[in-house]
Amino acid sequence: MLYPTPIAKLIESFTKLPGIGIKTATRLAFYTVGMNDEDVNDFAKNLLSAKRELTYCSVCGNLTDDDPCSICSDETRDKTVVLVVEDAKDVSAMEKIQEYHGLYHVLHGLISPMNGVGPDDINLKGLITRLQEDSGISEVIIATNATADGEATSMYLSRLLKPAGIKVTRLARGLAVGSDIEYADEMTLLRAIENRTEI
């Protein structure tokens, strides 16, 4: 073993994070060891409490410490529109622009024929149940990223929902192909939602 076991274990933990290779993990592990006790305690505490206290909203799938989440339980929101996103980070991106006042549905993934991910592997059933139970929903806005998987998911949803008489729209192409909603600037997102088109 190159490093003492505790640091080797810490390196291994860091490598489990997305985008962190062995080199960065090693740098982070050594950095963490050099931090003062209070900061390390806070770090560990925050990790554990985030994991313990957060859950996915049983209605929309958004990350929350309260179920149903604050958006689903907000009586002032427009309950006739549901915006469908890939993950909870996209909800935050959308909420930041403060222009969308409807509800959300988080898929926790996208249909990906290339990777063998089908409709049953993502949180689609939840959306269908919502639409069946709540006839007040008249429009579903598909806000998946402009990638091949985003398109596949959008097509599947529109084929599924249109025959049920639900208006299905897609964010306008202000978003560049392959771009992430999560990283889009607020003006681009605002324009994309205002200029959404029926599909």
Looking at the Cβ atoms of 25 and 106, the one nearer to Zn ion is 106
Looking at the Cβ atoms of 62 and 144, the one nearer to Zn ion is 62
Minimum distance, C-beta of residue 58 to Zn ion, in the bound complex (Å)? 8
Looking at the Cβ atoms of 128 and 172, the one nearer to Zn ion is 128
Minimum distance, C-beta of residue 68 to Zn ion, in the bound complex (Å)? 5
Minimum distance, C-beta of residue 69 to Zn ion, in the bound complex (Å)? 3
Minimum distance, C-beta of residue 48 to Zn ion, in the bound complex (Å)? 24
String of DSSP letters for the chain: --S-HHHHHHHHHHHTSTT--HHHHHHHHHHHHHS-HHHHHHHHHHHHHHHHH-EE-TTT--EESSSS-TTTT-TTSEEEEEEEESSHHHHHHHHHTT---EEEEE-SS--BGGGTB-GGGTTHHHHHHHHHH-TT--EEEE---SSHHHHHHHHHHHHHHGGGT-EEEE--TTSPTT--GGGS-HHHHHHHHHT-EE-
| Residues within the interface to Zn ion (CB under 5 A) | 57, 59-60, 62, 68-69, 72
Looking at the Cβ atoms of 38 and 75, the one nearer to Zn ion is 75
